[in-house]
Chain A
Amino acid sequence: MATINATLTVSSSDLTSNNLSLSKQMTMSKAGTSTGLELTSGLVRRTFTSTNHVDLITSGAQNYGTPTASDSGAASKVYIKNTGSDSTQYFEVGLGTSSGSGTATSDAIGGTHLAIGKLYGGDWMLIPAHLKATVGDITVQPSTAEKMTIEYMIFFE
């Protein structure tokens, strides 16, 4: 086992009338245990030069752990960052099936894809991931065909 610590700090002196100072640390453990996660994709860096909607992370047992048919007990985590600095350019991050074209797969309740949010230049996210085949895929769609770079890292069982 390994010990992987992730610490989030959110701070502001003027968002509200009192200072905001949130600091939260987690140690990444295997599902239902205190045994640390010990596998990782390493820090992956990818550059995009089109606005095609694509899989950033293609899930499935053969790649990342052993997710089950019931959305899995895996306690995997995914870190993603838009390494750019342009405040107008973003990656739209989604879950499910990518279209492979410039038009993203439609979002709908009961559908095969859902965009959850946008990472503008410098933005990052850290989320749990069940990595179940197909529906656990993480998709991205760049906002521009200009060169944009993303970094991601998966921690899994």
Chain B
Amino acid sequence: MATTTASLSLTSTDLFDDSLSISTSNALNKAGTTIGLDQTTGLNKIYLTATTNVDVITVPGATKDGKKSHVYISNLSMDETEYMVVSVGDKVIGRLYAGDWMWMPWNQQAQHLSDIEIAPSVATGMWVEYMIIHEGVVLTSSADS
């Protein structure tokens, strides 16, 4: 097992009359246990040059349903007008504008249903970063022809 920690700090000095300061931290464990997640995709960096909706991670089956994963995605664009639409399956979560990131739990419930998808708003090139920390993914069978 490994020990991986995800922390969040949310702050603002002018959203309210009083300051906003929320901080939280948790260890990333396997589902229903205190055993740390021990697998990861590593930090991926990709460059997308079309507005096509693409699978970042494809779920080929349901054998990992119920396993625990955490997903990080960030839009590395510097242009504040550029965004990407993030979806799970055909359900849109929302838009990540330039500099935005997201962190969420993820369940590989079923084939295609749980695919993580992104669609850039422009075809002029957009850098995207993502990482999944998980307790197993199903890999597709190899085929040489």
Q: Interface of A with B (CB < 8 Å)?
A: 2-16, 20, 22, 24, 26-29, 31-34, 38, 40, 43, 71-76, 79, 81, 87-88, 90, 92-93, 95-96, 107-110, 114-120, 122-130, 135, 153
A117–B102 contact, CB under 8 A? Answer: no
Main secondary structure of the interface of B (DSSP, over half): strand
> In the complex, A97→B66 CA distance in Å?
21
From A10, A75, A88, A120, give the contact of B6 (CB < 8 A): A10
Of the candidates A5, A20, A118, which one forms a contact with B11 in the assembled complex, judged by CB atoms under 8 Å apart? Answer: A5
Is the pair A3, B90 in contact by a Cβ cutoff of 8 Å?
Answer: no
Q: Are A124 and B12 in contact (CB under 8 A)?
A: no
Interface membership of chain B positions 124-135, coded 1 if the CB is closer than 8 angstroms to chain A and 0 otherwise = 000000010100
Which of chain A's residues has its CB closest to B104's CB? A125
- Interchain Cβ contacts under 8 Å between A and B, 15 examples: A7-B9, A9-B7, A32-B83, A81-B24, A87-B34, A109-B89, A109-B90, A117-B105, A117-B107, A124-B24, A124-B26, A126-B102, A126-B104, A128-B86, A128-B95
